[in-house]
């Protein structure tokens, strides 16, 4: 039998049923006795049975009354115990597992926005390895996982994970960017983590997903570290950026301090700086109101490159100064991009100075889904620079190409390169690329 504590005693269904049963039993007995009397069965035995039934019925009613009193007393005790339990302060509950915590918080949890970018390429000519021209090949580019999350109205997170293959066909996963960002307003944004070092325009605008950029490849001087860049394209540190509007011009700025270059130009010092000196950098850009679409400006980067005991010519640190200029014009289907950087290395032991220059000029015009383009790359490396070594060479590259946007998120690019570099088997190269976002 199940007892409902919240139900009033006067409405207990089992008690009403029992009383109804007794009444029905009494009526049945009375009917039976009446019937027997009508047939002349009024005998002393019948009267005795009737008295006995009345006595048993009285005993049954007394027992039910006693049980009713006990039940009411029990209910009062239970209700008093519930009142005491509600007034007692409960100890803190154990922490919820992450999956239950996320489910309980619901919409208050930060929402992760994930996008992916990838490309597949076909290259014929131009590429060499160990002095031999490589066969024409299909190749997988990078798979770029681009994730953002808005933690609050001011704080956000950006990360970029890249999956790709090395030259020896081994797979590699790298954290290309990881930034905690605070937005005080258009005039000030703060960031902390691994960033793309601001150098003019390209390195801040176009990242690892080739779908974003018009061309299939980055400019020669702005290749990523594992591709042979002469500039420190990644940095780990603290930076600030913003935009300020004035009556005749809009000014944009980027400034920061970070771990400097590694002992070799392919290294980014993610965990430990090799010396106490930190790199400082900055970019200042101007957008005049009288020429909509035009941006001009300059940049600087200062660092002390650590010594490399494994290289005889690298016994001391190198004082590095980088100065740059950029001019960008984006208007009326016209894309004009140009940057020039000057790199000065001064060896602290020998006192020798090495100067490297690099630039690119890119022009494109959009015609519906088609965008023909041309780019000129030039790199002049300081002779004998011990930091770059023999693998970074002088070069010029002329690129003629066309981009075809098959849909919003799929683009095909076809390029012809004429490359002048000492280690290239042939100056002619054809490159096809399918880049897409998903």
299 and 380 co-located in one domain: yes
Residues 350 and 314 in one domain: yes
Residues spanned by the domain of 313: 111-437
One domain for residues 263 and 307: yes
The region of weakest confidence among 43-57, 290-304, 314-328, 343-357 is 43-57
CB 388 within 8 A of CB 230: yes
Specify whether 35 is located in the same domain as 167: no
- Please compute the mean of the pLDDT values over residues 99-107 and round it to a whole number: 58
What number of CA atoms fall less than 13 Å from residue 114's CA on the CB side? Answer: 5
96 located within any domain: no
Check whether 363 has a pLDDT greater than 90. yes
The answer, yes or no, to whether residue 367 has pLDDT greater than 80, is: yes
Which residue, chain included where needed, has tokens 């100890």? Answer: 91
Per the CB < 8 A criterion, the answer to whether 75 and 83 are in contact is no
133 lies in the same domain as 68 = no
Res. 289 pLDDT band, cuts 50 70 90? very high
Task: Give this prediction's pTM.
Answer: 0.74
In a domain, residue 106? The reply is: no
Most confident of 102-111, 140-149, 419-428: 140-149
Instruction: Note whether 406 and 355 are same-domain residues.
Output: yes
Same domain? 47 vs 130: no
- For residue 130, pLDDT beyond 90: no
Shared domain for 170 and 58, answered yes or no, is no
In terms of domains, do 279 and 427 share one?
Answer: yes
The count of structural domains within the chain is: 2
Residue with tokens 């066309």: 402
For residue 319, the domain's CATH number is: 2.40.160.10
Domain stops at, among 87, 119, 138: 87
Residue 437, token pair as written in the block: 């976002």
Range 111-119 average pLDDT: 95
Beta bridge partners of 336: 329, 363
pLDDT at 415: 97
Structure tokens at 262: 């590694």
pLDDT of residue 216: 96
> How far is it, in rounded angstroms, from Cα 186 to Cα 150?
17
Q: Are residues 259 and 360 in the same domain?
A: yes
């Amino acid at each position: 039998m199940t007892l409902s504590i919240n139900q009033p005693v006067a409405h207990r269904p089992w008690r009403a049923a029992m009383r109804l049963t007794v009444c029905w039993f009494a009526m049945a007995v009375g009917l039976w006795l009446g019937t027997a009397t009508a047939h002349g069965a009024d005998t002393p035995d019948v009267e005795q049975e009737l008295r006995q039934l009345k006595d048993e019925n009285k005993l049954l009613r007394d027992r039910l009354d006693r049980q009713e009193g006990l039940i009411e007393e029990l209910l009062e005790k239970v209700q008093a115990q519930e009142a005491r339990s509600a007034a007692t302060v409960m100890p803190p509950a154990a922490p919820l597992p992450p999956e239950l915590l996320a489910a309980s918080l619901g919409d208050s949890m930060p929402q992760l926005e994930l996008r992916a970018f990838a490309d597949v390429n076909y290259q014929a000519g131009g590429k060499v390895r160990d002095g031999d021209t490589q066969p024409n090949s299909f190749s997988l580019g990078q798979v770029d996982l681009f994730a953002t999350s808005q933690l609050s109205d001011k704080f956000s997170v950006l990360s970029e994970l890249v999956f790709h293959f090395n030259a020896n066909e081994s797979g590699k996963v790298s954290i290309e960017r990881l930034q905690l960002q605070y937005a005080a307003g258009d005039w000030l944004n703060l960031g902390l983590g691994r960033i793309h070092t601001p150098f003019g325009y390209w390195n801040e605008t176009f990242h690892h997903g080739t779908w974003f950029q018009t061309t299939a490849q980055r400019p020669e001087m702005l290749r990523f570290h594992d591709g042979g860049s002469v500039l420190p394209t990644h940095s780990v540190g603290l930076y600030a950026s913003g935009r300020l509007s004035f009556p005749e011009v809009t000014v944009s700025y980027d400034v920061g301090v970070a771990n400097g270059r590694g002992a070799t130009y392919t290294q980014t010092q993610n965990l430990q700086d090799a010396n106490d000196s930190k790199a400082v950098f900055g970019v200042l850009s101007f957008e005049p109101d009288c020429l909509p679409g035009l941006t001009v400006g300059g940049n600087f980067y200062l660092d002390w490159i650590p010594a490399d005991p494994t290289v005889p010519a690298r016994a001391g640190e190198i004082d590095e100064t980088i100065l740059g200029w950029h001019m960008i014009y984006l208007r009326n289907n016209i894309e004009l991009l140009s940057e020039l950087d000057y790199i000065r290395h001064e060896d602290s032991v020998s006192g020798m100075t090495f100067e490297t220059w690099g630039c690119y000029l890119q022009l494109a015009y959009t015609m519906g889904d088609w965008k023909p383009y041309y780019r000129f790359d030039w790199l002049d490396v300081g002779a004998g620079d011990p930091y770059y070594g023999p693998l970074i060479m002088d070069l010029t590259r002329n690129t003629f190409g066309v981009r075809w946007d098959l849909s919003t998120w799929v683009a095909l690019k076809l390029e012809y390169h004429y490359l002048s570099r000492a280690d290239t088997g042939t100056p002619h190269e054809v490159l096809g690329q399918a880049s897409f976002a998903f």
